[in-house]
Chains A and B, each alone.
Chain A
C-alpha cells in the first residue's frame, strides 16, 4: 500500500492543468466580463421574495386553463386529416357602432415590484432582439451581445408589472399593463387605457391602428388619439375572449375565445362567426395569421363534453378558401396546442412538454422542448421563443435550445417581512467591542474522539429539550451543560468525559438556552431569570438586570441566544424584540423589533454573512443584519426544520448554525447557498435530544441525552452522548448509556 506522502506526490504528478494558454485565458476573461455586464449592479446578498399572486386574473385564468387542458388531454386519440367545406362569404355578421370610450384610470394603484423572470409575454423585433413583458418591467434581450436591458417605472413605464408586449409592423414596441399602454420608439411614452382594455390581448394592424379585446366580447380600437369601443359579435354563449388575437396583412382582426367557443374575425365593419364558414366545432383557443394571410387556429378540450365524445380536433388552417385539419396523424406531437407564426411563415405548435413545427407542408415534432405555457412567439429567423418555467425565455430553432434568464435585481416584496424601520435599530450591535478572537483549542495529537469516554462515569440526569441546555467554549474545548435539575456539568470533547461542577443559583427552564460569552469567559443561562456562570470560580450569580423594569419586565427569552463576535454582546430573541446583554455591565439593551411572523423561532448566526438566522414554523428562514436591522427572507427552509421542538446550536468558532428539527434531522445553514442544504442522516433509535451542541474542534455535533416513547407508549430516556461526524455523517455513542 502506498503511504500518505507517496499518494499525495503521485496525485500531484497527475495534475491535468499546470498552466493555461494565454489565448485560452483571454477567452475566459471575455466570457466573464460579458456575463458580468449582463448582471445588475453589485448589491448585498440575494433577496428572494415570496411568490406573489398576479393580480390580472384573465391572464392567469387563460394560462391556467391552457396548462390544465394541455395536461389533461395528453393522450388524445388520433384524428384523420380532413378538408373542411369552404364558405366564401360570411354568413353571420353583426353591425357595430364605434363609440368613444371614457378615459379611465385604474381603480387602484398598480402593483410594483415583481420579478423580471416572471415572464408574461414575449415578442421578437425584426432585428431579432427578444422583448419580454415581466413582473419586473420590460426586458429587452439583445441577442447579438447577450446583454439585457430592463425598463421600469424609472424609464417611463406606469408600473413595473407588464402583462403584454408586441412589436408593431413599423418596429415600434407596445407594452400593456393594468390601465395603461405604452409605446417605445427609443423612449417610453405611456398612455391611459379604458378599463375594458385590461383584457388579455392586443395587436397592431399594418396601418398602425392598435386593437385590443376585452370585456366579454368587446373590441377596442386606438387610432393614436382616441379610444373607441366596438361591440363584439354579440352571440349568446360565446363567453370571453381567450386572449389570443391576430391581425392579418389585410387588417382583418381574428379573435379566439375561452373554452374554444368560437373563432371570430372583424374586417373593420362587421364580424364573422367562423362556425358558419366551416370551422369544425370546438375551435378555437389560439389563433395566428401568417404573412400570406393563412390563418391557423388551435383548440382546447371541452371539459363539459361527455367522456365518450370524440376527442379534440388538433390544428386547423384556413387558406382563404377552405379549412384543413391537422392531427397527430399528420405528424403533430399532440392534438392540443397553442399556435404561433413568424414573419417568415414558420408555424410552431406548443404542446405540453413538446413542440411541433410546420414547414414545407409537413409537421416535425420535438419532444422535451417546452416553456412555461404562458407565452410564445416566433423570431424573424423562425426560432421559437417561449417564456421559460425557470424564468426568462427559452429559444428553440429546431436543433438546439437557448436559455436566457435575467439576473434578478432586488425589489421590494409585496408583503415584506417587516423589520424595524430605519433609525429604530439600536446601533449598539454595530459597535465593535468584542475581545480579540482567541485561538481555538485542539485535542492532543493522536486523540481519537470516536473512542467512548469512561463507562459508568457520572453524568447529567436525562431531561427534556428546553429544560436542559449546552454551550461550547472553543478555547478550553469544554461543553458547559445545565441539566433538567439545574445542575452544572462540563464535557471534555477530547476525552468524552463528564465532570460535575459545584453549582447553585442557576435557572431552571432554560427557554433561552445557554450561551458562552467569549468576552467575559462566562456562561449565560437564559430562562425565567438570567444567571451567569464563572468557570474560574465555579459559581453562578443571578443577573440583577433581569426583571428590573423597562423593556425587560416581561422578559422571556425564547429560541436560543448567540454570542455576537462583533459587538461582544449576547443577542437574545424576546417574543417580539431583539435584546442584547452585556455580561460585564450586567445590562440589557433593547436593540429592535423582530421580523413579523417570527414569534416562535430558533436563533442562529452565520459569521460568513454576519447575519442572525431566524427559523420559524410560521415563516420562511429570515436573515437579519445585526448591524442595521435589515431583513432578508429566504425562499426555502428544509421541511424538517421547524420551531416546535427544534433546537439550534451556534458556537463561537463554528462556521454556521446547526439546527435540529421536529423530526430530528440536523441541518447546517450554508452561507453561500443561503439554504439549509447540508443535512445529515438521522440518529438511529432515540428521538429528541436534551440538547445539541456543535463541537468545532472535532467538527461534530454532540447529541446529549434523549427521550423516546410517550404518546401511549412508555416514555424512556437515556443519559448517553452521541456524536455526529459532520464529515462522514456517522453516528458514534461517545458516552455509553449507563446500565
Chain B
C-alpha cells in the first residue's frame, strides 16, 4: 500500500502563502543592506520567526510591514553577530575571509551620488532606515508606521525630518574638500 501523502497543516499553508508573497521583498531588503550571503541567512531567519509565530502574523496588507519589522530586528542581531565574529576572527587570525563589498560600494557611480550615499551613511540609523523604507522599499506611511511602531502621522514627520537632515548632510559632504574626489572604496581603504 502506498504511503498516504502528508497533508499540510493550516499553519504550514498559511506560512507558505506568506512566504510566497513576500520572500523576494524581504531578500531585497537585506540585499540592500548587507552582503548577499548574509542577506540569504537573514531572510531565512526572518521567515523562521514568521514560521514560529505564524499565529501572530497579521493578514493581508499588514503582513509585509510586520515582516519588515522582524527583518529590522534580524538585521540588528546580524550586525551584532558580525561584530562578535570579527573579534573572533581577529583573535584566531587567518581564518576569516573578507566579506563581499556592500551594495553601497558597488553602486557608486558619480561624485554627487557618492556624496549622497555618504550623507546617508552619516545619518542616525533611525533616519537612514525610514528613508530607505520609503524610497527603496517603497512603503507608504501607513506601513512604515507599522514597521517603526508609530502612527502614520509620526512616520510622515520622521520621514520629513530625516529627509531634511539628509539634505543638510549632503551639503556638508559636497562642501567638504576631504570628501571630494574619493570613492567610497578608497575611503574604506585608508
Contact = CB atoms under 8 A, between A and B. Distances in A.
B27 to A, nearest CB: 5
Nearest to B46: A32
Contacts of B45: 35
Given A7-B166, A36-B47, A672-B69, A42 B28 contact: no
B151 A15 contact: no
Interface of B: 9, 11-12, 15, 19, 23-24, 27-28, 31-32, 36, 39-41, 43-45, 47-48, 51-56, 69-70, 73, 88, 91-93, 95, 103-104, 106-107, 109, 112-113, 116-117, 120, 126, 131, 134-136, 149-151, 153-154, 157-158, 160-161, 163-164, 166-168, 170-171
Contacts of B126: 727
Interface in A269-287: none
A14 B112 CA distance: 11
Given A3-B167, A20-B27, A32-B23, A368 B88 contact: yes
A500 interface: no
Given A17-B28, A407-B52, A4 B23 contact: no
B56 A609 contact: yes
Contact of A16 (B32, B95, B171): B32
A732 interface: no
Interface string A1-12: 111100110111
Contacts, number: 161
Contacts of B73: 670, 672-673
A697 B102 CA distance: 37
Interface stretch (A22-30, A78-86, A481-489): A22-30
A559 to B, nearest CB: 23
B117 A14 contact: yes
B15 A42 contact: yes
Nearest to B29: A17
Contacts of A125: none
A20 B31 CA distance: 10
Interface stretch (A43-51, A53-61, A455-463, A465-473): A43-51
Contact of B151 (A42, A44, A697): A697
Contacts of A608: 56
A178 to B, nearest CB: 31
A42 B164 contact: no
A234 B174 CA distance: 83
A187 interface: no
Contacts of B11: 41-42
Given A32-B43, A699-B154, 11 more contacts: A1-B168, A3-B167, A16-B107, A20-B28, A32-B23, A32-B44, A367-B91, A407-B48, A656-B149, A696-B150, A727-B161
Nearest to B104: A16
A667 to B, nearest CB: 13
A46 B53 CA distance: 8
19 contacts: A8-B134, A11-B131, A16-B31, A16-B103, A25-B23, A28-B39, A36-B51, A42-B15, A43-B55, A44-B53, A44-B55, A399-B95, A407-B48, A653-B151, A655-B149, A696-B154, A699-B151, A726-B150, A727-B158
Contacts of B70: 672
Interface in A318-368: 366-368
A75 interface: no
Contact of A368 (B47, B91, B117): B91
Contacts of B106: 16
Nearest to A696: B151
Contacts of B28: 17, 20
B135 A15 contact: yes
B170 A4 contact: no
Which 9 A/B pairs are nearest by Cβ-Cβ distance? A368-B91, A16-B103, A699-B154, A35-B44, A655-B149, A42-B54, A42-B11, A16-B107, A32-B44
Contact of B150 (A43, A368, A442, A655): A655
B113 A46 contact: no
Contacts of A12: 135-136
A369 interface: yes
Nearest to B155: A699
Interface in A110-148: none
Interface residues of A, number: 59
A29 B157 contact: no
Chain A's interface: helix, strand, loop or mixed, by majority?
loop
Contacts of B52: 39-40, 42-43, 46, 407
Contacts of A10: 112-113, 116
B91 to A, nearest CB: 3
Contact of A28 (B15, B27, B32): B27
Interface string A368-397: 110000000000000000000000000000
Contact of A15 (B32, B53, B93, B164): B32
Interface of A: 1-4, 7-8, 10-17, 20, 24-25, 27-29, 31-32, 34-36, 39-46, 366-369, 399-401, 407, 440, 442, 608-609, 653, 655-656, 668, 670-673, 696-699, 726-727
Nearest to B171: A1
Contact of B53 (A35, A45, A368, A698): A45
A1 B167 contact: yes
B91 A699 contact: no
Contact of A369 (B43, B53, B92, B160): B92
A400 B95 contact: yes
Nearest to A13: B113
A20 B32 CA distance: 11
A1 B15 contact: no
B64 to A, nearest CB: 15
A45 B31 CA distance: 28
B116 A11 contact: yes
Contacts of A366: 92
Contact of B31 (A13, A17, A369, A399): A17
A368 B73 CA distance: 27
Contacts of B47: 32, 35-36
Contacts of A34: 44
Nearest to A353: B91
A608 B106 CA distance: 38
Nearest to A35: B44
A226 to B, nearest CB: 42
B51 A39 contact: yes
A8 B163 contact: yes
A17 B103 contact: yes
Given A7-B166, A14-B116, A39 B24 contact: no
Nearest to B109: A14
Contacts of B53: 42-45
Contacts of B31: 16-17, 20
A611 B171 CA distance: 46
Contacts of A697: 151, 153-154
A15 B56 contact: no
A11 B44 CA distance: 28
Contacts of A31: 40-41, 43-44
A1 B170 CA distance: 8
A639 to B, nearest CB: 20
A4 B92 contact: no
A608 B55 CA distance: 12
A451 to B, nearest CB: 15
B27 A7 contact: no
A27 B23 CA distance: 12
Contacts of B95: 399-400
A368 B92 CA distance: 6
B92 A7 contact: no
